[in-house]
Structure 1
Amino acid sequence: MTVVFTLPIILDGGMGRELQSVGAPFQQPEWSAQALIEAPHFISQVHTSFIQAGAEVITTNTYALVPFHIGEKRFNEEGANLIKLAAQLARQSVTGHPGLLVAGCIPPVLGSYRPDLFTLEKAKPLLEVLINNQQADADIWLAETISSISEAAMIKARTATTDKPTWIAFTIKDEVTAAPALRSGEFVYDAVSQIAGQHVSAILFNCSCAEVMETALTIAKQALVDRGLADSVQLGVYANNFPPIGDLHEANNAVSGIREDVEPQRYREFATMWLKAGASIVGGCCGVSPAHIKALAELKHA
């Protein structure tokens, strides 16, 4: 599907914490999968809230539909049907809203923020289940919170066999530095250089603090220029609203707190900096609410 957006393109925000805020079933380790399992109408409610706020890309609620969150037994027995349901709910949410896209979420299948847990042998079968059961309803693929070049390369190779463009979103270390790095320790410049291009039409940074994103964008833009891809690959950011996440963080052992200093207007100020640094896609990750997305949507008319 080819859709022409006026820039910036506005993504949705964080599904999990918004589910919690509206009273949906929510707990660790299931995270956003809990509502899908017990009360899927809450998923539709949150999708609608983000659409009403101005989101133009609605992401399927499949992030937690991996053994890391729902357990190996439940994944083997119910995973395919749950993934399919999440994709169908996202598709239904955009019905009647011409021009909105459904992004088929591809999470880090062996655990968020833990590149040390990644192996091709274990990851590939899980990736197959995610892709096969979203294929019918997704317009694009959105690989989220990817911590290493090797996982991004695996996803790029697999999605190349589909008829959909791929957006790869890397999570980076929550350290302000002149040489930003993925959580694997690999440099952003190298990741962008190796992954951008062909059917990977956008490189994004997500699920890291807002303060570290501007430098990552600057480095990513230089990598695209050096590879001759600056006119064909977009850049984007959707930060989280969590305190800094350190190495070896266990994503499903506790519910992180929400920062009080990044309210919607402040988040919009960050997004304005990201746009100046080269982003054309902005949205929100964990803890970013419809109110934050509404503030971003106003940038289209600023």
Structure 2
Amino acid sequence: MMASLSERLDRGEIILLDGGVSTEIQRRGVPLDANVWSGLTTKTHPDQVRQVHEDYIRAGAQVITANTYSTARHVLESINLGHEAKALNFKSVQIAKQARDNAADGEVWIAGSMSSMPPLASDREVAIGAHVEASYQELAEVLALAGVDLIITEMMRDIDNASMVIKAAVATGLPVWIGYCTMMAEDGIDVKSLRWKNTESIAAAPDFTTLVKTLSPLGGQAAGIMHTQVGDMEPALEVLGKHWSGAKLAYAETGCLLLPEGRVEEVCSPPDYAAEVEKWIKKHGVQIVGGCCGTGPEHIRALKHLLSHLTK
């Protein structure tokens, strides 16, 4: 019988996650929506979404992430498609399962993504409120019903929003991995939560230490840093290590996301990224590695090569 993800983490194994799903779909010529990012591509370009998953599996990913990052009901409502939320999320998981059936020759797990992303055209940094909370609960329940193996809460960067997301995910009973995204404070020393919309309505970014200390008691099997510039990862991992004793994950941006057009420029090549990831594993005990925006199958292939040498 194959060991579960939890068992593998408990015995110190390193798990290889996939790379960016949305940016890889976009790189292949599929247009992304100005409000719901890659959310509609499950509906409009299912074959391309499946191919991205398959390519990550063939590159070595042991965990692939269903295309549900931006498909919560409150996000889809921004383009009058809230009523399609359940069906769209269910289909996203089914496409990931098809990719696994087509490409996997070993154990591959499917993660459902739940993120803090509001509609992109909104001036809100994150979405909050009772309706949003119900939307996250619905998303978590649909992901569990569709058969994901775990849920990753992505871009956790605000206490109110992240609390809703994490609680909804944990309530399913599935393993939950918590992905924080960070940036350096103006002093170049302290770490704070990522802010990426330059509008006047945005509150100051919370101190990262406060964020982790507040959210860690909510649960989760693993926690770590994602959607963060490669050079900012180590300071954030240092802070995390002081307030989180569970398994750690790390998957950085290897490309620079240019808004509002949504284009991604590569800033960290596969070999360079593998060298950075090796440091995170050795210095910070990271056990779950992969990539975020800008990361493609070649980056994951480089990480697979790295892990094959580290585990000898």
With normalisation by structure 1, the TM-score equals: 0.85
| 2:114 pairs with 1:103 | no
- Identity within the alignment, %: 24
Q: 1:49 aligns with which of 44, 55, 61?
A: 55
Q: 2:28 aligns with which of 19, 22, 32?
A: 22
| 2:72 pairs with 1:63 | no
| 2:297 pairs with 1:287 | no
Greater mean deviation of Cα atoms: 163-172 or 42-51:
163-172
Structure (1 or 2) with the greater strand fraction? 2
Report the AA paired with residue 159 of structure 2. Answer: I
Contact 1:109–1:126 (CA under 8 A) maintained in structure 2: no
Contact 2:63–2:109 (CA under 8 A) maintained in structure 1: yes
Aligned to 1:270: 276
Distance 1:67 1:132 in 2: 12
Quote how far apart the aligned CAs of 1:70 are.
4.3
SS in 2 for 1:181: strand
Distance 1:167 1:280 in 2: 12
- Map of 1:126-205 to 2, 5 A cutoff? 126-136=135-145, 137-173=147-183, 177-183=188-194, 185-196=205-216, 199-205=219-225
| 2:227 pairs with 1:219 | no
Distance 1:44 1:8 in 2: 25
Greater mean deviation of Cα atoms: 135-144 or 154-163:
154-163
Quote how far apart the aligned CAs of 1:13 are.
0.6
Q: Deviations for 1:220-261, whole angstroms, at most 9, x for unmatched residues?
A: 11113xxxxx2xx1111111133388xxxxx6x3213313x4
Distance 2:29 2:263 in 1: 17
Q: Deviations for 1:258-278, whole angstroms, at most 9, x for unmatched residues?
A: 13x411011111111211223
Q: 2:265 aligns with which of 253, 258, 266?
A: 258
SS in 2 for 1:291: helix
With normalisation by structure 2, the TM-score equals: 0.83
Aligned to 1:118: 127
Contact 2:36–2:75 (CA under 8 A) maintained in structure 1: yes
Distance 1:238 1:89 in 2: 23
Quote how far apart the aligned CAs of 1:148 are.
1.1
Aligned to 1:248: none
SS in 2 for 1:63: coil
Aligned to 2:247: 234
Unaligned runs of 5+ in 2: 195-203
Unaligned runs of 5+ in 1: 225-229, 246-250
The answer to which structure, 1 or 2, has the higher relative contact order (CA under 8 A, 6+ apart) is: 1
Q: Give the alignment's Cα RMSD to 1 decimal.
A: 2.6
Report the AA paired with residue 237 of structure 1. Answer: A
Greater mean deviation of Cα atoms: 202-211 or 180-189:
180-189
